[in-house]
Structure 1
Amino acid sequence: MALNSELKRVSEHMLALGLGALAHANWHANYMSIENSKWPELSVLQAAHAAEILIKARIAEEHPLLIFEQLPRSKVTDNFLEMKHLFESARTIQYSELPERLWATTGMKLENLEKYKSFGRLRNSIQHFAPPPEIDFSGETINFIFEVIDPFINTCWSLYAIDYNEDIDRHIYLIEGLVERGIKFLISPNCVKQLKHVDFDWPKNNREYEQEMKKRLALMGFIEQNSRHS
């Protein structure tokens, strides 16, 4: 099936959109708003949406039509298949089916698949029913971002989830929060540049986490001078 030039740019568009959604999810999950109490729940929706778009972006790199489960029939046009035909009658792969399509088209297996599935169920419960009680939505989002999205975008495009955040002082406050929670994350070169004078307050009683993150920092050329719990 022939494609026009607009369809050939689908993967680039989806990658940019997915990273934008990731930045929004990081912002809403790691910060608070006085005006809007729904930031934690919104972070779940945004992170799930980001993962969905980013996985589709990788699949679309193989061929843009692979992200669809239903395509227009040839009778809709005598020439090239155009974007408008997809808008009118095509249907994309659903969230729950994306890991299998990713594997079938690229050979990649999504890390922490059970986390991906459970987070999708959480997103659905928030979006279509009511937020489950006694759940730390921000915490669930942060875990999902750095256990599922972070390794995925790093493998696919050498990108780092820590670099996508709407806070103007991106890394410092975000990383302080992640360290406080004991969240393991991939260290980006840009991140190291902004952390030259940061004195990490490593969580107490979690030596394994501290050692692992220090190893990751060291591998990226970061030398910690004055750790408060070294």
Structure 2
Amino acid sequence: MNPVLEKIPDRILKLALGALAQANTHAVYFDPGNEHWEYMSVLNAAHAGELVLKAIIAREHPLLIFNDIFKLDDERSDGLDLEKLIRKGKTHSFEQLPKVLWAVTGIRTPNLECFDRLRKARNSIQHFCAPDDDDLRALSLEFLYTIIDPLLADCFGVYTIEYHEDPSVGYDYVVGALIAGEIRFTMPNDFDLSEIEVPKLLREASEDYRVWFSREVEKIGKIDLLS
């Protein structure tokens, strides 16, 4: 394979994780003056999702993310270079990516209903204005953790909770928001929390969520987090 092409999946994933860090931060943190973060969480979640799907597809072959590879050939050059791909390449649209992912890898994108809701919210925010009747932070977290989180964990061994933009703390407040929303997430083997009281948060959760959380921390030997 062309050495230039071999680097593309890692480059896409690096960008995806940057967008993911912003999406997590904008969906979880809220202070006066940053009300716009609610809208940015949707844009960044969609951006992260698009890039994660493309990174998975590109692992099979980088040119599979482009929807018309024949237009990349100017019939003069000896081979493709990155500049030409950036300048002339047109990738599959966000809406098409779940189908491309399945066709290329056999992987089904989870929770397509949420994917479609976030896609529509992203289009509205990006091209017109924000919808009034949605909890956009909750939508962003649902998208990140029911769709992107399992794909990242399964395909790259990456944990979504570990990417955020608050260097002063770990992922405690991200996890706190997920528990409050009863959103399931993938836990790394070194999962640990020190800034939030897990038992107190879980008391407000449903029995089903408490059982799930207990089972997951037990799997990784972190049952002490419940005491």
* TM-score, shorter chain, exceeding 0.5: yes
Aligned residue in 2 for 1:127: 126
In structure 2, relative to structure 1, the CA distance for the partners of 1:214 and 1:53 (3 Å cut) is: same
Count of equivalent residues = 224
Q: Letter of the 1:29 partner, please give it.
A: A
Q: Letter of the 1:139 partner, please give it.
A: A
1:14 aligns with 2:18: no
Q: Secondary structure of the residue that 1:118 maps to in structure 2?
A: helix
TM-score (norm 1): 0.90
Structure 2 Cα separation of the partners of residues 128 and 181 of structure 1 = 29
Q: Secondary structure of the residue that 1:224 maps to in structure 2?
A: helix
Structure 1 Cα separation of the partners of residues 209 and 22 of structure 2 = 26
* Alignment map for 1:13-92 (pairs within 5 Å): 13-71=11-69, 72-92=71-91
- In structure 2, list runs of 5 or more residues that go unmatched: none
Cα deviation, 1:10-63, whole Å, max 9, x if unaligned, reads: 100001110111111000100013333200100000000000001101111111
Deviation at 1:73?
A: 4.5
Structure 2 Cα separation of the partners of residues 153 and 208 of structure 1 = 25
In structure 2, relative to structure 1, the CA distance for the partners of 1:216 and 1:195 (3 Å cut) is: farther
Cα deviation, 1:196-222, whole Å, max 9, x if unaligned, reads: 995432143611101101101110110
In structure 2, relative to structure 1, the CA distance for the partners of 1:157 and 1:73 (3 Å cut) is: closer
In structure 2, relative to structure 1, the CA distance for the partners of 1:222 and 1:198 (3 Å cut) is: farther
**Sequence identity (%):** 33
Structure 2 Cα separation of the partners of residues 69 and 165 of structure 1 = 32
- RMSD of aligned residue pairs (Cα, Å): 1.9
Structure 2 Cα separation of the partners of residues 117 and 15 of structure 1 = 22
Cα deviation, 1:133-179, whole Å, max 9, x if unaligned, reads: 13111111111111111111111112211111112212222212221
TM-score (norm 2): 0.91
Q: Does structure 2 retain, via aligned residues, the 8 Å contact 1:199–1:224?
A: no
Deviation at 1:85?
A: 1.8
Aligned residue in 1 for 2:155: 156
Q: Secondary structure of the residue that 2:44 maps to in structure 1?
A: helix
In structure 2, relative to structure 1, the CA distance for the partners of 1:154 and 1:225 (3 Å cut) is: closer
Deviation at 1:184?
A: 1.3
Deviation at 1:119?
A: 1.1
Query: Where in structure 1 do 4 or more consecutive aligned residues deviate above 6 Å?
Result: none
Q: Does structure 1 retain, via aligned residues, the 8 Å contact 2:149–2:185?
A: yes
In structure 2, relative to structure 1, the CA distance for the partners of 1:92 and 1:222 (3 Å cut) is: same
Q: Does structure 2 retain, via aligned residues, the 8 Å contact 1:26–1:43?
A: yes
Q: Which moved more, 1:147-156 or 1:166-175?
A: 166-175
Aligned residue in 1 for 2:220: 220
Structure 2 Cα separation of the partners of residues 166 and 88 of structure 1 = 31
- In structure 1, list runs of 5 or more residues that go unmatched: none
